[in-house]
């Protein structure tokens, strides 16, 4: 596989982190994992979205920017494949769902300043499924702060991802229907990823 930088994307609960770890191990690559557990604003956001959405999105943007910049700038790391369980555009996608228009306009100004300075993935693997499936997965993993995520919210995220990809037709995306091809349950299917 000739991809230098692969990002795994998908809705909440789609299996991004698990697949990123398996793929990184398979490729003997470097791994970038989102540090959501360290974000103290995430549980607060789920309790009171209107109050904490802007703070949450800014904190995620700052952390993702720092992490991607550090990992992709290290010469010894970029000699091998990097696999991440997100891409920086995720910040834009979630902010566009979670923020009101004035907050999003300010967020977008900041995003547009930092975006050009970051390496972009050569390939995005998008784990596609219906909100009903990811809602079941979220319940199975049992994180307390996720217990009240609504199907409507998951649907909004799902639609925003698809809309975003339609607006970026030059982005190389491998869409995998995880209802038909679950790479977590059947990791041997990783070998069927297309070559460049």
What is the rounded distance in angstroms from the CA atom of residue 134 to the CA atom of residue 184? 13
Helices (H), the chain: 16-27, 41-47, 49-73, 89-98, 101-114, 131-141, 151-166
Q: Which residues, at least 6 apart from 152, have a Cβ–Cβ distance to it below 8 Å?
A: none
89 is catalytic: no
Structure tokens at 160: 């925003």
- Residue 139's contacts (CB-CB under 8 Å, 6 or more residues apart) are 147
In which element (H, E) is residue 125 found? strand 123-128
Cβ atoms of 12 and 157 closer than 8 Å: yes
> Which listed residue (38, 48, 76, 79) is catalytic?
79
Sheet bearing 173-177, strands edge to edge: 30-32, 82-84, 5-10, 123-128, 173-177
Which residues are known to be catalytic? Answer: 79
């Amino acid at each position: 596989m000739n991809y230098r930088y692969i990002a795994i994307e998908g809705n909440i609960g789609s299996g991004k982190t698990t697949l990123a770890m398996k793929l990184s191990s398979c490729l003997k690559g470097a791994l970038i994992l989102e540090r959501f557990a360290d974000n103290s604003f995430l549980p607060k956001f789920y309790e009171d979205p209107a109050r904490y959405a802007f703070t949450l999105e800014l904190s995620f943007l700052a952390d993702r920017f720092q992490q991607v910049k550090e990992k992709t700038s290290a010469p010894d790391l970029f000699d091998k494949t990097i696999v991440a369980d997100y891409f920086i555009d995720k910040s834009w996608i979630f902010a566009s769902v979670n923020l009101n228009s004035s907050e999003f306009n300010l967020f977008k100004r900041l995003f547009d300043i930092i975006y050009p300075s970051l390496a972009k993935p050569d390939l995005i693997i998008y784990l596609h499924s219906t909100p009903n499936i990811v809602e079941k997965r979220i319940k199975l993993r049992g994180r307390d702060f996720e217990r009240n995520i609504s199907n409507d919210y998951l649907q909004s995220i799902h639609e925003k991802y698809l809309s975003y990809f339609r607006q970026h037709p030059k982005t190389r995306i491998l869409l995998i229907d995880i209802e038909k091809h679950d790479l977590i349950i059947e990791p041997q299917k990783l070998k069927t990823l297309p070559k460049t």
